[in-house]
Structure 1
Amino acid sequence: MDVSLLLSLTDRVPALAVPSAMHPDAWPLGERLAAWSRSRGLVLGDPDTSWLGRARCERLAARVLPTADPDRVDLFARWLTWTFALDDMIDEASLAGSATAVHALYQDLLRALRRGHARPGARPVESTLVELWQATSDGMGRDWRRRFLLHMEEHRAGCAEEAVNRRTGHTPTAAEYPALRRRACGPYLYDLAEPILGVELPGRIMITPAWKVMSEGTADVIAWTNDVASYAREAARSESHNHVAVLATTYGIGPHQAAAMVVDRIAERVEEVRTAARSLPSFLNRMRFTPYERAITKQVVKVLLDTPRAHLDWVIESGRYNATDDTPTLLPTQRTNRLDALASLRPHP
């Protein structure tokens, strides 16, 4: 499906009109991430021959966090790479239709976290998870750790539910899909803004209606954008856990009309997130947030609000969502702009 449908959002939604900034160290960060991914066994052989290798997760991290410390951006890029590696593993035939297999895999992962080390001969996703957790959780409080692990459990449950649906041939309804997709789309990733920024949000902010809309709404925008971008790839293997496929089945319409409906919903959801963000200060006043608590909340909110456009820009340039094994479907001017952007990041002698 042509990404021009997603690009129309930049004209329709003011919050998505301005291109995302790019971290000045994006190019060396890419080299670091590629070396790490190969050394940990997440990417094997030529990275351009796999969906994970072509993802260029460092560029998403560099767009979401354009002014952060390079080491922290690198850590976030590693988490993204690990998440996509896990996602690709769960999509394999041996796991895709088996909730039992998904639970067993996740049981190994969570046990490794509790032990503090991977089993001898463990799979790369297990050993790298322990490494990432130790690098990330150090210095974070008990509440943040509990929240992160609860979100990993949500991810486990979401992936297992999808496996049951595949085995039984059930396509989620339009009403069921958003919450399921949110659980199965790495909800723990949104907790990473805090350790990356070196802050920890007060737990009481999580119960406010504004925060719920902002956090869930941002996750929806990212997931549904992925759905539109990956529809062709997923339709080829009859994957029903895609918003385009869900709406097409629910309303008996073609994929292009369904995709247009998803893009309309993305536009609405972005506006809902922005409205919630504007209402957040009133909640902070009522909860008597200190100046410091307001300052760190503002930092995390900015990351959330910047993420949809950063993610959209990354989807266009990433090789993970190509319909073919060659280059993404871009308009001629977009191809030129992409190459110019990449070239500008190369270090000059």
Structure 2
Amino acid sequence: MPIVAGNNMNSTRKAGRERLVLFHRPIHNAYGLTLQKFICDRPFAARVAFSYILLHTSSNLSSRTSSTLKYFNNMPGYPKLKLIDRSAFPPKIVLPDVAGYTGQFFDVKLNPNWKEAEAGSYACVHHGRKRQEFFDTGFGQMASLAYPDADLEHLRPSMDFILWLFAFDDMIDEGGLRDNVDGTKLAVDITMDVLRNPDTAQPKFKIAASLLSFFQRMRANSSPATIKRFVDASDLYTQAILQQTVNRSVDDVPTVEEFIELRRDTSAVKMVFAVLEYSLGLSLPEEVHNDPIIAELSLCGNDILTWANDVYSFPIEQARGDTQNLVFITMWDKQLDLEGAMEYVDQLTRRRTQDYVEAKKKLRSFGPELDAQIQLYIQGIEYWVQGSIDWTFMTPRYFGAEVENVRDTGVVDIMAPIAPSAPIVVDV
């Protein structure tokens, strides 16, 4: 299939359009200059190595560097988005029609047990603003699109997992632990402890306790291989989230290629695909997951879903001052304006969709019993991808009250800066 621009994408930009003005990394004070210049003037490998030092030796840092970290973790003026000039943004943008072309290859389906599972999941959420937010946002509907073939016994825990995942992601992204390296590391350590020591862990941290509740039910009726994949994927996710927090705290911007590698883990898609296996009662051996074609299908699904999310969430993420988004990374790394970056990511996503289609044609047989499970798994990947993309236009999470208008026209306003969530304390 030829790669063409989407119906909602104006792919012809004026030849003389000025490119987005990109600022050099800012200088806050002498300490900020010392740390930021050290990191930003070095190759990515050196930046990662220094980030590792920050993460794993913070207790032994010099007072000068410790002061710098404290400064970064408490910087005023959020949301900052200091690396680009907001005034160069157009007031509106036309979003690529990702759903239009992925929908040619992937189906969407809603689990018939949706309402019953949702009632149980929401009943366990504490009363107050967060519970109402879950209702209004429709996370239960999201889970029912993601796991449409799960029976009620498996859908309810899977839905609880989705609620946990969005809550954890929002805590990291929207301000609760934003730019707070020490707080994020503590949250990550507690989270992984409940998965590695589920029989002894008694977390006071509510989000970790919610994950433990789901995990205990998953362990009760899932294969050891699926459980191991979930724990391993969770480790990749939490470590990537921690690295992303370091990147945010020092305004570090990787290349597009480097960011894609990190984003494959910060997306948590490897976790949701492990839960997909659980939701369907599958028991796929490592032989299947290590097969190059199966691995490519999973990776393509991860990329398509994640890049589409970065496109659709860009308007609100830039308003929060978040630069850890593939659209922004493309603007910075490829020196493109906003419309050019949107088109670039759209073309990447189209090519990845075609990669999926071509890889699927090469799928070999593993024998009748495994083939039946593999077909369910692959269909589940496709449901996840299309369900997630379509849900973007069913929820107010990304476009607020304008969601129906954005769905119909593809046009979205570039939001003004919005206030962050209140900082949180991680209970030990």
Name the structure 2 match of 1:306.
383
Provide, for residues 167-187 of structure 1, a one-character-per-residue CA deviation record: whole Å limited to 9, x for no partner.
221112111111111111112
> TM-score, with normalisation over the residues of structure 2?
0.68
**Cα gap change, 1:8/1:134 in structure 2, threshold over 3 Å: closer, same or farther?**
closer
Q: What is the SS of the residue equivalent to 1:38?
A: coil
Alignment coverage as a number of residue pairs: 318
- 2:330 is matched by which residue type in structure 1? L
Q: Equivalent residue for 1:38?
A: 126
Equivalences for 1:8-157 in 2 at 5 Å? 9-11=99-101, 14-16=104-106, 20-38=108-126, 44-45=128-129, 47-48=131-132, 50=133, 52-93=134-175, 95-113=177-195, 114-116=197-199, 118-119=201-202, 122-157=204-239
Give unpaired runs (5+ residues) of structure 2: 1-90, 411-428
- Residue 72 of structure 1 and its aligned partner are, at CA, apart by 2.0
Name the SS of the counterpart of 1:14 in structure 2.
Answer: coil
What's the offset of the Cα at 1:61? 2.1
* Secondary structure, counterpart of 2:256 in structure 1: coil
Amino acid at match of 1:292: E
Question: Who wins on radius of gyration, i.e. which is larger?
Answer: 2
Q: Which residue pairs with 1:199 in the alignment?
A: 282
**1:239 has 2:322 as partner:** yes
> Are residue 7 (structure 1) and residue 97 (structure 2) matched?
yes
Partner SS, residue 316 of structure 1 = coil
Considering fraction of residues, name the structure with more helix.
Answer: 1
CA distance 1:274–1:258, shift in 2 (3 Å): same
User: Contact 2:96 / 2:342 at 8 angstroms: preserved in 1?
Assistant: no
Moved more, 68-77 or 24-33: 24-33
Alignment counterpart, residue 295 of structure 2, candidates 190, 212, 225: 212
Structure 1 unpaired stretches of 5+: 336-349
Residue deviations 1:162-207 (CA, integer Å, cap 9, x gap): 1111122111211111111111111211101111111110111122
Letter in 1 for 2:380: V
Q: Deviations over 1:211-230 (max 9, x none)?
A: 22111111111111111111
Stretch of structure 1 that moved more, 27-36 or 326-335: 326-335
CA–CA distance in structure 2, aligned partners of residues 314 and 111 of structure 1 = 32
Please identify runs of 4+ aligned residues in structure 1 that moved more than 4 A: 1-4, 331-335
In 1, the alpha carbon distance for the partners of 2:274 and 2:398 equals 25
Contact 1:4 1:330 in 2 (8 A): no
CA contact (8 A) 1:116 1:130 kept: no
| Aligned-partner Cα distance in 2 for 1:36–1:252 | 47
Q: Is the 8 A contact 1:6 1:225 kept in 2?
A: no
What is residue 295 of structure 1 aligned with on the other side? 372
Give the direction of change, closer, same or farther, for the CA distance of 1:202–1:332 in structure 2 (3 Å limit).
Answer: closer
Q: Contact 2:99–2:390 (CA<8 Å) still a contact in 1? A: no
Measure, in 1, the Cα distance between the counterparts of 2:181 and 2:174. 13
